[in-house]
Amino acid sequence: MNWKSSLLFVLVLLVYAVNLPIDVMEIDAAQYASIAKEMLETNSYLEVYDQGADYLDKPPLLFWLSASSMKLFGVNNIAYKLPAVLILILGVFSLYRLGRLYYDKHTSSLAALLLAASNAWFLMSNDVRTDGILSGFIVFSVWQLLAYVRFHHWHYLLGSAVGIAFALMAKGPIGLIIILAAVGGHWLILREWKSIFKWQWLLVLLLVVVLLSPMLYGLYVQFDLHPEKEVYGLKGPSGILFFFYTQSFGRITGDIYWSNNAPWNYFFDTMAWDMQPWFILFLLAFGFRLWHVYVHRKWFEPKEEFFTLTGFIFPLIALSMSKFKLPHYVFPLFPFAALITAHFMIHILPENKVFFKWVRGFQTVVSVLLLAAVGIAFVFFFEPNSWQVFIFILLVAAFFYIRYTYKKINISWYVPHVFAFIAFGFMLGIYFYPNLLKYQFSSQMASYLNSTSKEGKKVLRYGVYDRSLGFYTQQRIPLSDSAGVANCATGTLVVCTQESWKELQEKQIRDFDTVAIYKTYQVTLLTPKFLLATTRESVLKQAFLLQKH
């Protein structure tokens, strides 16, 4: 990959930078940001609370990192997202270094680029949850483990322990499962028994336990010492048992009630979007790789690797067995998919000129459709500013110039298609998400409360569970019942939804003035009716800021 192609990495970083200041989205990201803010305010780093209530769902690493970032840079969007974005970048770098253990520089660079410019990585740089740091530390750990076996340098051993521990503290045992599936499957297939039975792995295990000990101590003190507590319908849950078993394996065994009845093939459908712009190329590459393994099943080259296959297939099967599935659960598998795809694009695909020509044509269609989608959004979704239109025209012109002159300017055939998706991601960051989040009332209302200096007045929530409201006002807003609202002091501000305001009226609680009304929608559940400007009003709801008179 020459210097011209390397400029794509700079453009990817620009997309990440554009995503940093965008408001956090309800529900998960806003909740995690609120928890991190609360952790900073209370200095309760080992015992985790969500608006004063015990929190057990996710391990604390994201909260620790974001709270530390907020301590340095203040409570804001950038501070919350920055640690996760840096770890995403670490994951991209780790994939490149991992690839160099088994592939040439060109293949490794392309794999890193495919990962960095994928829809999944763009999404995780904006809607920051635990999956970004999980993904980054998984690929980092696999790189460190395989590098240690090859080079026997102690710093790789230490790095693998840190990576495994942080992956566990990002989202629980699923981190370790994916790491073991990748490296363990690789060693088993190649019968590298010396790699499996190294005494040094006991040292890694010890270091992992030491690194986990603060989190485990916090779970023990907060939950195991208090059998009277009830969380998520679990009476007297063990925090340590929940971390190691219930939260992950309980979704398969039914020990926890979380279920959304997603079908077994759910992730195949979601990957069609999350792996863009290279999903079809991955399917082709994956099929070819399986065929290659079958044909050469009786012998393997000494430097051949299988961590990409085992690290993708076995965790995908395990995740597909879960009774509760969300698209981002498979994002940690994408580094392995990117490496499989990059090798196919460089070393396999060009060998068949007719097929290669068809694939290039298909990718051109995909790229044009992505850019056309932005133009359609300009007309039918949200009205753009003149500068947004100008930037979009420049990006479209650049795409067509690169696409039809790539041979003359000496760059690889895939560069214009990756550029098209980077342009698409950039337009999402400067145009689509800012317009979309105008309909997330909690962050909009918080801006109003802050700008009008309402800090001296008590604020209550009634029927409102949005976490971003507390995050952006930097205060804990109590959730009240109807009696509390009815008996609140004069001048108290009450935040309520359309439904909860109706409940207050039905209960004859009407001694309030309307300060502001907001149009609202759950922005993470997009539908055509909401996106189309002509039908949006039919699905919008209202949120109210009331004041007791």
What is the domain partition of the chain in residue ranges? 3-254+270-348, 352-438, 440-548
Bridge pairing between strands 541-548 and 493-497:
antiparallel
pLDDT given for residue 251 in this prediction: 56
pLDDT given for residue 452 in this prediction: 62
Q: Which of the four pLDDT bands, split at 50, 70 and 90, describes residue 482?
A: confident
Query: Which residue shows structure tokens 């569970």?
Result: 465
pLDDT at 115 over 90: yes
* Per-residue model confidence as pLDDT tens digits over 63-112: 999 999 999 999 999 999 999 999 999 999 999 999 999 999 999 999 99
- What number of other Cβ atoms are within 10 A of residue 291's Cβ? 10
The whole-chain average pLDDT of the chain stands at 88
Distance CA 349, CA 347 (A): 6
The highest-confidence range among 59-63, 171-175, 480-484, by mean pLDDT, is 59-63
* Per-residue model confidence as pLDDT tens digits over 179-234: 999 999 999 988 888 999 999 999 999 999 999 999 999 999 998 888 888 877 77
Q: Which distant-in-sequence residues (6+ apart) come within 8 Å of 448 by Cβ?
A: 516, 545
- What number of other Cβ atoms are within 10 A of residue 195's Cβ? 19
Distance CA 530, CA 527 (A): 5
CATH number 1.10.3470 given to 440-548: no
Distance CA 215, CA 432 (A): 38
Of 369, 520, 354, 514, the closest CA to residue 437 belongs to 520
pLDDT at 299 over 60: no
pLDDT given for residue 367 in this prediction: 92
Of 536, 495, 500, the closest CA to residue 519 belongs to 536
- What number of other Cβ atoms are within 10 A of residue 361's Cβ? 10
- % of the chain surpassing 70 pLDDT: 94
pLDDT given for residue 158 in this prediction: 96
CA atoms within 13 A on the CB side of 8: 31
Bridge pairing between strands 459-462 and 234-235:
unpaired
Element (H, E) at 460: strand 459-462
pLDDT given for residue 113 in this prediction: 94
Distance CA 296, CA 290 (A): 10
CA atoms within 13 A on the CB side of 270: 17
Mean pLDDT for the stretch of residues 422-431: 95
Element (H, E) at 231: strand 230-231
pLDDT at 325 over 90: no
* Per-residue model confidence as pLDDT tens digits over 142-181: 999 999 999 999 999 999 999 999 999 999 899 999 999 9
- CA atoms 507, 512, 514, 517: torsion sign: negative
* Per-residue model confidence as pLDDT tens digits over 9-28: 999 999 999 999 999 988 88
pLDDT given for residue 410 in this prediction: 77
Of 118, 112, 173, the closest CA to residue 139 belongs to 112
Q: Which of the four pLDDT bands, split at 50, 70 and 90, describes residue 4?
A: low
- The dihedral region occupied by 152, where left means phi > 0, alpha psi between -120 and 50, and beta the remainder, is left
Higher pLDDT, 80 or 486: 80
* Per-residue model confidence as pLDDT tens digits over 341-387: 999 999 888 888 888 889 888 999 999 999 999 999 999 999 999 99
Query: Which residue shows structure tokens 């507390």?
Result: 470
Higher pLDDT, 273 or 157: 157
Higher pLDDT, 466 or 72: 72
Of 484, 494, 491, 459, the closest CA to residue 473 belongs to 459
Q: b or e along 365-397 (b: 16 or more beta carbons within 10 Å of the residue's beta carbon)?
A: ebbbebbeebeebbeebbebeeebeebbeebbe
pLDDT given for residue 456 in this prediction: 67
Distance CA 225, CA 213 (A): 16
pLDDT given for residue 304 in this prediction: 81
pLDDT given for residue 2 in this prediction: 59
Tell me if residue 263 falls in helix, strand or coil: coil
pLDDT at 302 over 60: no
pLDDT at 253 over 70: no
pLDDT given for residue 178 in this prediction: 94
pLDDT at 397 over 90: yes
Distance CA 543, CA 207 (A): 50
